[in-house]
Structure 1
Amino acid sequence: MHKIVLVRHGEAAKSATDADPGLTERGQLQAQQLAADLDKHFPEGQGVRLVSSPKTRAIQTALPIAARWEQEIEEEPRVIEIPSPQGMPLAQRGHWIKTLLNDGWNSLTPAQVQWRNTVKDYLLGLGEQRENTGNAHTTLVFCHFMVINSVIADIRNDLKVAQFHPDYTSRTELSLAGGTLKIIELGDERDIDNLIQ
């Protein structure tokens, strides 16, 4: 069995003009606390791979644990946040995301369906990658709200987009065995809905 931990990034700066904002000061503190917690669960990072979306907020969340373990972060574009509809201005993305949260996965555009399939195929491939990358038994994937919800909805075979509201730096644990993903434990949730950022 291979364990996959989907880690939501820390709190990011909200921006209607910056497509790739970094973490806020609070987000940086969350990333530091996450690193301390992860080191307790995986002492010195033995057997753990670090994978991150190429978005700044995800990489910055992974950096403290990578530094602590002296490990490289593998940037993986296949776990990037869901793409906006083609031609949509960045300033309208927040409203679109809020609307999408109350919709179904069957409402996606072809490009978004491809994104979703790519996320799933990448995670399923981690079992094969394990055989080619030595003794890694766990992959930490630093990613995004919609990535996590997409995967959970697929495992549950549920069309509802918002399966739950993972908090910043929450950890959703999955198992991968025999080409099948299963939920071990959902990450901590926020009490209120939060923008996808």
Structure 2
Amino acid sequence: MEKKIYVVRHCEAGGQSREAMLTDKGANQADDLAAFFNDIKIDRIVSSPFVRAIQSAKPISEKKNMIIEEDERLTERILSTKMLPDWLKKLEASFTDTGLAFEGGESSSEATNRAVSVVNDIIKSEQESTMIVTHGNLMALLLKHFQNDFGFEQWLSLTNPDIYQLSFESGKIRTERLWREFR
């Protein structure tokens, strides 16, 4: 049986905090996501508990009459708890050196492991088609795990929102970007 996991990056938000809400544009994007998924079978929705992720999934859950399961493992990666003026360079370095961690932060390897654990749980589940809603850096690290050439440059090209499909069948994994095809 083929398993499909739709990895969704949240819509445009008004900040980076856990409580940051979608902007007006982001709310419209969430409606666009719901339209995109209108004819796609979804058995389950699992989301980061951050407000912007839940708000991104809400129109889909309402249209499909589904609950949104919150999973802390899908929260955004914390690069550091200290202000890093050169954070972009440090983030880029963390795509190459996956064990690199900054003060109070998580290494790419640690963040990837928690995201992959969500995917592994989904693969073991009964559902054929699951949507997960997460954040840009964690999404990029998850995609890099399954598509080795996905890196910092691809992270830079992610949009809010964005959608990738992971397909698992007979031990083979395919990744495909879907969102740009929708536009």
**Structure 1 pair 116/94, CA: closer, same or farther in 2 (3 Å)?**
farther
The yes-or-no answer on 1:144 pairing with 2:140 is: no
**SS in structure 2 opposite 1:5?**
strand
**Structure 1 pair 159/39, CA: closer, same or farther in 2 (3 Å)?**
closer
Name the count of aligned residue pairs. Answer: 173
Alignment of 1:1-197 (within 5 A): 1-14=2-15, 18-42=17-41, 45=42, 48-85=43-80, 87-88=81-82, 92=83, 96=87, 98-105=88-95, 106-107=97-98, 108-109=100-101, 111-112=106-107, 113-130=109-126, 136-158=127-149, 160-164=151-155, 165-178=157-170, 181-185=173-177, 187-188=179-180
**SS in structure 1 opposite 2:132?**
strand
C-alpha separation between the residues in 2 aligned to 1:80 and 1:139?
A: 17
TM-score normalised according to structure 1 size: 0.76
Q: How many percent identity over aligned positions?
A: 27
TM-score normalised according to structure 2 size: 0.81
Q: Which runs of 5+ in 1 are unaligned?
A: 131-135, 190-197
In the TM superposition, residue 187 of structure 1 has moved relative to its aligned partner by 4.1
C-alpha separation between the residues in 2 aligned to 1:37 and 1:186?
A: 10
Q: Any idea what the Cα deviations from partners look like across 1:105-138, whole Å, max 9, x if unmatched?
A: 31532842322211112212211122xxxxx211
- RMSD of equivalent CA atoms: 2.5
In the TM superposition, residue 75 of structure 1 has moved relative to its aligned partner by 0.4
8 Å CA contact 2:46–2:133 kept in 1: the answer is yes
**Structure 1 pair 180/78, CA: closer, same or farther in 2 (3 Å)?**
farther
In the TM superposition, residue 159 of structure 1 has moved relative to its aligned partner by 7.8
C-alpha separation between the residues in 2 aligned to 1:124 and 1:82?
A: 19
